[in-house]
Structure 1
Amino acid sequence: MARRTQDPNEMSFLDHLEELRWHLIRSTMAVVIVGLVAFLMKDFIFDTIIFGPKKMDFPTYRLFCRIATNLGFESAFCADSLPFTIQNRTMAGQFSAHIWTSIWAGFIVGFPYVLWEVWRFISPGLYEKERKYSKGFILVASLLFFMGVLFGYYVVAPLSINFLGTYQVSQEVQNEIDISSFISTVRASVIACGIMFELPIIIFFLTKVGLVTPVILRKYRKIALVLVLILSAVITPPDVASQIIVAVPVLILYQVSIYISSYVLKREAKSKKAHEQPR
């Protein structure tokens, strides 16, 4: 094992590699431990969470059904069941689905700890003034991630499943969806939205390193709007209502990112002015 020096700033390259290795090991162990708990909770993970959006008593479906009923419209969200079945086509398909779903559950639940390990690795290279905001950074980043996960699970996933599961090119073709395909749809919706909601954090760091400014963000706002609508069309059913539901929070996050970028630059300018003043 490489020997660590007392001053983190004087650590050699091998010391940094050794430090990184232990951060990765601890992060992996945390994901594995939480994943093991998820593995033992198979019935809850699959019947309640994974296959929840397949049942028409899912909260999202009930909400949209109630809205449509109050407006006097007929809605597919008021149906008794979704017209497709989930099946397994490979010998190890269900076992593999169990393993990988548990690992992803471990990553999602253990995300704050993984983020904390990442911060512990990079924080020695920051100024003392920047390090004192570490707890706030981890809290905000974790909160945004879980908000994105919930948005993906309760909005994007059920809308996608409801549309794709009921879509038919012909009455001759029945939807018999493989378990891996169904789980990947739920997983992609959840993980993608979780990462997407980290936009303010990403903009914060890009502003700190000088790659992004509020002027740039405002200048390319229209282009960002188009990209958001394209992204919404990719991860949601091809109807306007679903795309707007997904696009609105992303646009809000983009606007918040502009304010964050402005705040960072103002603080840096104020700090620089304070240091330039004669004592």
Structure 2
Amino acid sequence: MSDPKQPQSEGTEETFISHLVELRDRIIRAGLAVIVVFVSLVYWAPDIFRLLARPLMMNLPKDGKMIVTDVTGSFFVPMKVTMLVAFVIALPIVLYQIWAFVAPGLYQHEKRLVGPLVGSSYTLFLCGMAFAYFLVFPTIFRVMAHYNAPLGAEMTTDIDNYLSFVMTMFLAFGVTFEVPIIVVLLVRTGLLSVNKLKEIRPYVIVGAFVIAAVVTPPDVFSQLILAIPLIVLYEAGIIAARLLVRKPPQTDADKENKEGSAVG
């Protein structure tokens, strides 16, 4: 006698395997997109690294140079930078592959939300990186050079350490510029209200300065150029949430309760 549960379990197993196969294909396509962009850029890897190092080189003393302490650093560091640039350029394709995988399991209203959410998140992350590159890096390096001058210390840095520093700053400011998206999502999902976000504003301000103190160099000015944008973006998120998130319509019971409380 056959087990009636066996066909159902086999169907579930086949569905699971098909999802794994699709996930594998999506990962391969996303990886190929990054590799294709990387191969297209690898010839210019030294130029890309020089472009990344430009904010520091502009603020080094005359005849100042970067150093290499690892035997293979002069080869692998530009390759790492080029790979990261390739990933940022190919990120829309990577995000599309993720979207194509999860889209069949989403409701229609969720699908309408994902597109603008992903696009705005990617744009804001790039804005955060640009803010760090064009404003934060020159400011920090200028301040550090000012501190080093009275000490008679020569301002040089290893290219691997420099890469680690700029990647940390890119990530910090990229995530910082995502704050409006996070705030809007918190309100839209009902986890927090706009009024509650206003109430916790003092804690957010303190948290912004704590994060800035951990991420940026120890001077006050460097901390301010991260903490202030974080606070401003939080306020922008509150404004965006007030404009974009619609209040649920009041039911008859809500109106009666409101009228009853007013009479009482």
**TM-score interval, normalised by the smaller of the two chains:** 0.7 to 0.9
Look up the match of 1:38: 41
Question: Counterpart amino acid of 2:99?
Answer: W
The structure whose Rg is larger is 2
Look up the match of 2:9: none
Look up the match of 2:137: 157
More helix by share: 2
**Residues 80 and 13 of structure 1: CA distance in aligned 2, closer, same or farther (over 3 Å):** closer
Cα deviation, 1:134-164, whole Å, max 9, x if unaligned, reads 4323321221111111011112222233334
Gaps of 5+ in 1: 1-10, 57-78, 274-279
**Residues 13 and 208 of structure 1: CA distance in aligned 2, closer, same or farther (over 3 Å):** farther
Shift of 1:262: 4.2
Shift of 1:29: 1.9
**Residues 167 and 34 of structure 1: CA distance in aligned 2, closer, same or farther (over 3 Å):** farther
Cα deviation, 1:25-69, whole Å, max 9, x if unaligned, reads 22222222222233221243022x21210233xxxxxxxxxxxxx
**Residues 23 and 259 of structure 1: CA distance in aligned 2, closer, same or farther (over 3 Å):** farther
TM-align CA RMSD? 3.0
The equivalent position to 1:15 in structure 2, one of 18, 23, 31, is 18
Identity of aligned residues (%): 29
- 1:110 lines up with 2:112 in the alignment: no
The equivalent position to 1:50 in structure 2, one of 46, 49, 52, is 52
Gaps of 5+ in 2: 1-13, 252-264
Secondary structure of the residue aligned to 2:66 is strand
Q: Within 2, Cα distance between the matches of 1:264 and 1:123? A: 23
Q: Within 2, Cα distance between the matches of 1:238 and 1:83? A: 27
**Residues 28 and 39 of structure 1: CA distance in aligned 2, closer, same or farther (over 3 Å):** same
Q: Within 1, Cα distance between the matches of 2:187 and 2:158? A: 44
**Residues 32 and 140 of structure 1: CA distance in aligned 2, closer, same or farther (over 3 Å):** same
Compute the TM-score of the two structures, normalised by the length of structure 2. Answer: 0.76
Aligned length: 239
Q: Within 2, Cα distance between the matches of 1:25 and 1:102? A: 20
**Residues 16 and 259 of structure 1: CA distance in aligned 2, closer, same or farther (over 3 Å):** farther
Look up the match of 1:251: 231
Compute the TM-score of the two structures, normalised by the length of structure 1. Answer: 0.72
**Residues 32 and 245 of structure 1: CA distance in aligned 2, closer, same or farther (over 3 Å):** same
